[in-house]
Amino acid sequence: MTLVIALDAMGGDSAPGIVIDGAAKALRQTPGLRFLLFGDEARIAPLLDRHRDLAAASELRHTEVAVAPDAKPSQALRQGRRSSMRLAVEAVKAGEATAAVSAGNTGALMAMAKFVLKTLPGIDRPAIATLLPTRRDPVVMLDLGANVDCGPEHLFQFAVMGEVYARAVLDIAKPSVGLLNVGTEEVKGDSVVRAAAALIRDSGLAIDYYGFVEGGDVSEGRVHVVVTDGFTGNVALKITEGTARLFSSALRQAFRSSWRARLGYLLARPALDRMRERFDPRLYNGAMFLGLNGVVVKSHGGTDAVGFAAAIATAIQLVRQGTNERIIAEMNAAAGGVAGPKVVAS
Amino acid sequence: MTLVIALDAMGGDSAPGIVIDGAAKALRQTPGLRFLLFGDEARIAPLLDRHRDLAAASELRHTEVAVAPDAKPSQALRQGRRSSMRLAVEAVKAGEATAAVSAGNTGALMAMAKFVLKTLPGIDRPAIATLLPTRRDPVVMLDLGANVDCGPEHLFQFAVMGEVYARAVLDIAKPSVGLLNVGTEEVKGDSVVRAAAALIRDSGLAIDYYGFVEGGDVSEGRVHVVVTDGFTGNVALKITEGTARLFSSALRQAFRSSWRARLGYLLARPALDRMRERFDPRLYNGAMFLGLNGVVVKSHGGTDAVGFAAAIATAIQLVRQGTNERIIAEMNAAAGGVAGPKVVAS
């Protein structure tokens, strides 16, 4: 099967440059890929001249409309029908593309993806998931902000989707799943997380449910999948990124603070570069919109070509692993469990 | 006025050793302090022999009961009436001590403090606040887990208390206050944070309200006070600590990975030590229970004598700055504002 990736060429701080460079990189990594590029032909065509292979593997569809980074989702939905973002999502709906990737406005992309693609059977709300580095394997965390108010059934659905996602992108046969909470004892937290825990335990699904995890367990890699509501997940993700930035800048400052420290840096540099690679946010780029009838991946708006290529690679992996088909199968099995003799706490 | 600090000598992973050593350190930093020590005499007396000045400044009150680190708050309340923790809090209530410090079970300490001391007029629920390092001044964050479910009025009260706390411990005349949210636009977040924002804006108090802040703004030091519910705050604090631990351990690993890196470390060490000092969690030790009729400070359970001394220093600062009197005055002013012509959104 030829993989066709629809790209919102106008989304992201440095679009369309990083989108085209990123696509060229992705093509080198995965020969045989094809692209549908949506955006301003006058700006994209000159960029394609630098990448002959990409030009040959792409179809460029011109549109002058682009979603502003600060557009409200509702506004983008109404006014962005001919936008590069919307057309990329529509291409997935029409079956012309296997997946869509955009580095544009997250809220607008989620609104369009929900409106155009609809959710998978059994899934009430899509969630945003990403990978984060830990002391051990990377961890899948969701939801990262699509749903600020969540009920137990939503957290349960996130757990199912996150588990399938971890199997697909981390290649782990039986990923463990934890619910983020303020403590690990069963009595901790609010009624929503406690009811969600009961739903997962009683679902009849073969999920390796670990129990509650605390904030500190995320970076320890205590579980493969961390499930939380979109409010907490969004704060957690941005706190993690902020703390990493603070630490990095303090380290840079320390190495610049004296000639002795500068020399020390030069000596330790190969080791420090390897460490930086391990935590390179570009390698963790590509947040999946899970639970939609189609694969849509959101790249960080501020990423570069390497990061955008990583987002495309995530989309490819999700398609190849049949993530959505697996989610449908799990939700079917859960529905069977609920209808059966098992009592589901609520 | 002689400051008398009541210490739960049995709380914390390495109690009573770090409590006594920490008190001795605090006494050297603040001559004239007096201590009421609650705990097992057989274990504490030999430790006091090593600290003659502390022994002279302390009264040791024996009890054999200690609250277990994993005791449930309700259980500790019922069974811990003669515990070192409870007696330290009771000493504040009785006016024998000006403040209490414990490195024991947080939930039990909060339950006892609430039960014994009650909340300040105008405050429905006490909150846990602490300082975190940022790129600029340290930031006050609350609530860190005392209240997992919060309404707008609670977040408003946390904002008032956090602002007063920042004035007291950071010595800032007019600290800026932000509400933690998933975005900075007014339409972002759930109904609770939006209603809380309206309450702060319309309170008539002279709070320098910044607006919504995101997770990444915390370590940027965008505001002096970050207000959130206890669920999000607890996760945020533990995610911050976890990310810092992950980074530190990766850095240690990098410096050990080759002889060249080891040599680089030795050269850069003075600069790295200064950086470590800046982020030393012991200096940020001492979480204040804000909103109680009395000063109670919770030390990290795993801290050492330096950290415990810092927790005592926090308690002293809060007493000297008249934090509780200031909170009462603000809540009185807010109540006046509410009763006045101003319309308070809800």
pLDDT of residue A218: 96
Q: Mutation target for A interface from B217, B223, B231: give the one with most A CBs within 10 A.
A: B231
Q: Do B215 and A278 touch (CB under 8 A)?
A: no
Mean pLDDT over each residue of chain A, to the nearest integer: 92
Q: Do B271 and A263 touch (CB under 8 A)?
A: no
Of all residues in chain B, what percent are helix, strand and coil, respectively (each to 5)? 50, 15, 30
Question: Six-digit token pair at B285?
Answer: 């030790």
ipTM of the complex: 0.89
Q: Mutation target for B interface from A226, A238, A248, A274: give the one with most B CBs within 10 A.
A: A238
Is residue A346 situated within a structural domain?
A: no
Count: domains in chain A: 2
B343, pLDDT greater than 80? no
**Which of A148, A214, A271 lies closest to B258 in CB terms?**
A271
Among residues B117, B152, B182, the one where a domain terminates is B117
Is residue B261 situated within a structural domain?
A: no
Distance CA A165, CA A170 (A): 8
Cβ(B260)–Cβ(B68) under 8 Å? no
Cβ(B235)–Cβ(A180) under 8 Å? yes
Q: Looking at the structure, do residues B175 and B223 belong to the same domain, yes or no?
A: yes
B65 DSSP 8-state letter: B
Q: Looking at the structure, do residues B104 and B141 belong to the same domain, yes or no?
A: no
Is residue A240 situated within a structural domain?
A: yes
- Chain Cα centroid distance, residue B270: 30
If you measure CA to CA, which chain B residue comes closest to A239? B215
Q: Looking at the structure, do residues A175 and A66 belong to the same domain, yes or no?
A: no
pLDDT of residue A333: 87
Q: Looking at the structure, do residues A148 and A276 belong to the same domain, yes or no?
A: yes
Q: How many CA atoms lie within 13 A of A57 on its CB side?
A: 23
Is residue A10 situated within a structural domain?
A: yes
Tell me the β-bridge partners of B139: B132
Q: Looking at the structure, do residues A258 and A292 belong to the same domain, yes or no?
A: no
Chain B positions touching A230 (Cβ under 8 A) are 182
Is residue B206 situated within a structural domain?
A: yes
Question: Six-digit token pair at B302?
Answer: 């795993």
pLDDT of residue A346: 36
pLDDT of residue B341: 34
Count how many residues are written for chain B.
346
Is residue A119 situated within a structural domain?
A: yes
Tell me the β-bridge partners of A209: A177
Q: Do B180 and A235 touch (CB under 8 A)?
A: yes
Q: Looking at the structure, do residues A11 and A94 belong to the same domain, yes or no?
A: yes
Question: From the CB of residue A144, how many other CB atoms can be counted at a distance below 10 Å?
Answer: 24
Q: What is the pTM of this model?
A: 0.91
pLDDT of residue A5: 98
Per-residue pLDDT band for B345 (boundaries 50, 70, 90) equals very low
Among residues B94, B117, B140, the one where a domain terminates is B117
Distance CA A4, CA A2 (A): 6
For residue B135, the one-letter residue type is: R
Q: Looking at the structure, do residues A194 and A101 belong to the same domain, yes or no?
A: no
- Give the CA radius of gyration of chain B: 21
Q: Do B245 and A189 touch (CB under 8 A)?
A: no
Residue B176 belongs to a domain with what CATH number? 3.40.718.10
Q: Looking at the structure, do residues B154 and B273 belong to the same domain, yes or no?
A: yes
pLDDT of residue B221: 95
Q: Say if B206 is an interface residue toward chain A (CB within 8 Å).
A: no
Count how many residues are written for chain A.
346
Per-residue pLDDT band for B160 (boundaries 50, 70, 90) equals very high
Q: Looking at the structure, do residues B107 and B146 belong to the same domain, yes or no?
A: no
Instruction: Report A:283-342 residues touching B (Cβ under 8 A).
Output: none
Cβ(B103)–Cβ(B126) under 8 Å? no
Distance CA B45, CA A140 (A): 51
- Terminal Cα distance for chain B, rounded: 43
Mean pLDDT over each residue of chain B, to the nearest integer: 92
The alpha-carbon gap from A42 to the nearest alpha carbon of chain B, in Å, equals 33
DSSP calls for A234-252: HHHHHHHHHHHHHHHHHHH
Q: Say if A74 is an interface residue toward chain B (CB within 8 Å).
A: no
Among residues B92, B117, B142, the one where a domain terminates is B117
- The residue range of the domain holding B63 is 4-117
Q: Looking at the structure, do residues A241 and A93 belong to the same domain, yes or no?
A: no
pLDDT digits (tens, 9 = 90+) for A65-123: 999 998 999 999 999 999 999 999 999 999 999 999 999 999 999 999 999 999 999 99
Is residue B299 situated within a structural domain?
A: no
Chain A positions touching B245 (Cβ under 8 A) are 216, 219
Task: Mention every residue, 6+ apart, whose C-beta is less than 8 A from residue A210.
Answer: A176, A177, A178, A222, A223
Question: From the CB of residue A124, how many other CB atoms can be counted at a distance below 10 Å?
Answer: 12
pLDDT of residue A345: 37
pLDDT of residue A339: 38
Distance CA B195, CA B156 (A): 9
Distance CA A75, CA A65 (A): 13
pLDDT of residue B337: 52
The alpha-carbon gap from B45 to the nearest alpha carbon of chain A, in Å, equals 35
pLDDT digits (tens, 9 = 90+) for B171-219: 899 999 999 999 888 878 889 999 999 999 998 888 999 999 999 999 9
B281 DSSP 8-state letter: G
Instruction: Report A:135-194 residues touching B (Cβ under 8 A).
Output: 135, 145, 148-149, 180, 182, 187, 189-190
Q: Say if B259 is an interface residue toward chain A (CB within 8 Å).
A: no
Is residue B249 situated within a structural domain?
A: no
pLDDT digits (tens, 9 = 90+) for B234-268: 999 999 999 999 999 999 999 999 999 999 999 99
Residue located via tokens 């790249």: A299
Of all residues in chain A, what percent are helix, strand and coil, respectively (each to 5)? 50, 15, 30
pLDDT digits (tens, 9 = 90+) for A177-216: 999 999 888 878 889 999 999 999 998 888 999 999 999 9
pLDDT digits (tens, 9 = 90+) for B286-312: 889 999 999 999 999 989 999 999 999
Chain B positions touching A261 (Cβ under 8 A) are 267-268, 270-272
CA–CA distance from B271 to each of A272, B173, B243, B274, B284 (Å)? 16, 32, 21, 5, 20
Q: Say if A241 is an interface residue toward chain B (CB within 8 Å).
A: yes
> In the sheet that A58-62 helps form, which strands lie side by side, from edge to edge?
A58-62, A34-39, A4-8, A99-102, A295-298, A287-290, A127-132, A139-142, A225-227, A176-180, A208-213
B88, pLDDT greater than 50? yes
Chain B positions touching A270 (Cβ under 8 A) are 258, 260-261
**Which of B220, B243, B255 lies closest to A271 in CB terms?**
B255
The alpha-carbon gap from A259 to the nearest alpha carbon of chain B, in Å, equals 9
pLDDT digits (tens, 9 = 90+) for B8-22: 999 999 999 999 999
pLDDT tens digits for chain A (346 residues)? 789 999 999 999 999 999 999 999 999 999 999 999 999 999 999 999 999 999 999 999 999 999 999 899 999 999 999 999 999 999 999 999 999 999 999 999 999 999 999 999 999 999 999 999 999 999 999 999 999 999 999 999 999 999 999 998 888 999 999 999 998 888 788 899 999 999 999 988 889 999 999 999 999 999 999 999 999 999 999 999 999 999 999 999 999 999 999 999 999 999 999 998 888 888 888 889 999 999 999 999 989 999 999 999 999 999 999 999 999 988 888 887 543 333 333 3
Q: Looking at the structure, do residues B155 and B274 belong to the same domain, yes or no?
A: yes
Q: Looking at the structure, do residues A297 and A254 belong to the same domain, yes or no?
A: no
pLDDT of residue B338: 47
Question: Six-digit token pair at B310?
Answer: 């810092």
Task: Mention every residue, 6+ apart, whose C-beta is less than 8 A from residue A17.
Answer: A47, A305
pLDDT of residue B204: 86
